[in-house]
Structure 1
Amino acid sequence: MNPEYQALILKSCGATSLRLGAKIQTLWSGYGEIVRVHLEGCERPSVVVKHVQFPAASGHPGGQNTDLSHKRKVRSYQVETHWYQNYSTNPSCRIPVCLASCSRGDEMLIVLEDLDVAGYDQRRTSVGDKEIRACLSWLAHFHALFLGRDPDGLWPLGTYWHLDTRPDELEAMDDLQLKAAAAPIDRILTDCRFKTIVHGDAKLANFCFSKTGKEVSAVDFQYVGGGCGMKDVVYFLGSCMEERECEKKVPPLLDYYFSELEKAANKDVDFVALEKEWREMFPFAWTDFHRFLLGWMPGHWKINRYSKKLTKEVLHKLKGMN
């Protein structure tokens, strides 16, 4: 890390010295890294630094190294920086505090509060109902907070799999019926009456848990933007449950999400209409992500009977709408 970045960290935290700690993770496709930085002479013992370095040529596990892919990633880091600089939430949908950020040529730096120090030091690769409900509550409060809000400076339509940003994956699809339905499905989701700001990458790995598992904070806002809240919900549920669990658990978990959303929403919101619309959007949102997976990684474990069942239902509904 160059002296300019080190000086920025020291100044933003009021620290007298710093020491680079462990690398937390490498960013997707080799676009930099996230590291913990230990501090001296200030109240914060450490911060987390997201250091983005755009490579000349990137490697991708799916083999897609297109110019469009690179531009999408660059834009995602610009959006994330704007998010941390200009948006805030509340304790019901906790995010790390942004302490500083800067951009220099092909590099970007975001200095964030260390959530481990704040009490969110647990990561989960498998979860029970308690943790799932904590994340759904976070999403409900997040969606309620930004209900009707324009996504200024963010993605006009959030989520990393949004159709307009994924023409390569659409072209690669073998399922011609779903391929033909991709645009109508996207249009139905985009034209929904009740819009909010979605996290856009609300998988289990992007939630940090308290020791009890009852409280969470979310990270990774590269694909935050406008849209229907169901996009976050289906992506999260699909990230932490196998197909048999989905059949049994999705209905009561969806009920729980809407109960939390109703508690958090402003009283002037027509919640009956909102819930009716978003429940109708649920299978469309699930099918939309299923469409992306079929073009991106056809052998992915999330392509299962539950997803195929919902997709079949959606395709049948579309036929009835024509």
Structure 2
Amino acid sequence: MHHDVEPWILEMTGASRISRWEKLQTLWSGYGQIWRVSLQGGRAESMIVKHVRPPVVENLPTEADGDVSHQRKLRSYEVEANWYEHWSGKLTDGCRIAGCDGISRADGGIVFLLEDLDAAGFASRFSSADANTVKAGLEWLARFHMRFLHCQPAGLWETGSYWHLATRRQEWHVMADHHPLKPLATAIDEQLSRCRFPTIIHGDAKTDNFCVAPDGRSVAAVDFQYVGGGCAMKDVVYFLESATGDSDRQSQGDSLLDRYFAECRRHWPGNGGESSDAGDFDDFESECRRLYVFAWADFERFLAGWCRQPIATRGYRFSMMQRVMNELR
């Protein structure tokens, strides 16, 4: 694999040679690998190479859902390429991501040449024990959502996230018939889809996709395969699901939401006297707080079909599910 892309990497970086290839991980379902390359004589000492090489069709599942999953993954990498080529440059300094030095498409695959965030000062990873880091992640999401409020997701997913109902019909079908969210799935999806303040969402905002500065007070995001339009609360819910435990959500959930909305208010389009048709911030916050519980129920619906998760009967997620069921019934 290396000899296929080495000349291109050297050309893009101005390096004289690659002294080391370090494999970091295999992409989901074997669709490629991510490497760190050590460079000599170039603009950077190291870069990250994300080499997408989908499996041959003969090795994929033959059932219909296997093809649906395959097409979703192929589309996700095209979306990520579109993100870096046409959207990432619109971000402000407060939304740090890995810079992209180049994208190459050849032989049915895609190669991303990305900034090494470890070398850029984001070498730490997430710890739910660090409250500052959780807050930093929420503030990053707030700035991201405010930057793209009311933007049309051209070239991205029309609906961001990898679990929304339209692309997860098979998971819905295998949900237990007695699951209380199964008959409500469409109504929940419609509530989120009809939000009056759509934005661009990261779509996979789990803690694994954030790199952290040593002081834990700033983060940088990676992995934009499922970036697209939608309700901001889907990102917030998925982030909190991965960043906090149930007891933390029960004791701190309101204050964490308050932190997110405070950062949204600071970056609300039109602040500072600029004209804006974004609407009223209080209306935005009111709608998002209401849809927050729907985003939890939507994710619970996905988990119930994807990993056959038992029906929640207590805790924070259960309380969110109950509030949705009470409103819709």
Equivalent runs, 1:159-170 vs 2, <5 Å: 159-170=161-172
Q: Does 1:137 align with 2:139?
A: yes
1:21, distance to aligned residue in structure 2 (A): 2.4
Output the CA distance in 1 between the equivalents of 2:316 and 2:174: 22
Q: 2:175, 2:304 within 8 Å by CA — same for their partners in 1?
A: yes
Output the CA distance in 2 between the equivalents of 1:126 and 1:300: 24
Output the CA distance in 2 between the equivalents of 1:86 and 1:166: 27
1:146, distance to aligned residue in structure 2 (A): 0.4
Q: Residue 193 of structure 1: SS of its match in structure 2?
A: coil
Tell me the TM-score normalized by structure 1: 0.94
Q: 2:312, 2:318 within 8 Å by CA — same for their partners in 1?
A: no
1:305, distance to aligned residue in structure 2 (A): 2.6
Q: Residue 317 of structure 2: SS of its match in structure 1?
A: helix
Task: Report the RMSD for the aligned CA atoms in angstroms.
Answer: 1.9
Q: Does 1:315 align with 2:308?
A: no
Structure 2, unmatched stretches of 5+, are 271-275
Range moving further from structure 2, 64-73 or 89-98: 64-73
1:194 alignment partner in structure 2: 197
Output the CA distance in 2 between the equivalents of 1:38 and 1:198: 32
Letter in 2 for 1:5: V
Output the CA distance in 1 between the equivalents of 2:53 and 2:188: 35
Output the CA distance in 2 between the equivalents of 1:180 and 1:83: 35
1:4, distance to aligned residue in structure 2 (A): 4.0
Output the CA distance in 2 between the equivalents of 1:126 and 1:252: 15
Range moving further from structure 2, 19-28 or 134-143: 19-28
2:241 alignment partner in structure 1: 238
Q: 1:8, 1:100 within 8 Å by CA — same for their partners in 2?
A: no
2:305 alignment partner in structure 1: 295
1:147 alignment partner in structure 2: 149
Output the CA distance in 2 between the equivalents of 1:300 and 1:242: 18
Q: How many residues align?
A: 316
Letter in 1 for 2:283: A
Range moving further from structure 2, 147-156 or 118-127: 118-127
Output the CA distance in 1 between the equivalents of 2:119 and 2:33: 20
1:116-154 deviation digits (Å, cap 9, x = unpaired): 111011112533210000000100000000001111100
Tell me the TM-score normalized by structure 2: 0.92
1:55, distance to aligned residue in structure 2 (A): 0.8
Q: Does 1:43 align with 2:43?
A: yes
Q: Residue 160 of structure 1: SS of its match in structure 2?
A: coil
1:258 alignment partner in structure 2: 261
Q: Does 1:181 align with 2:162?
A: no
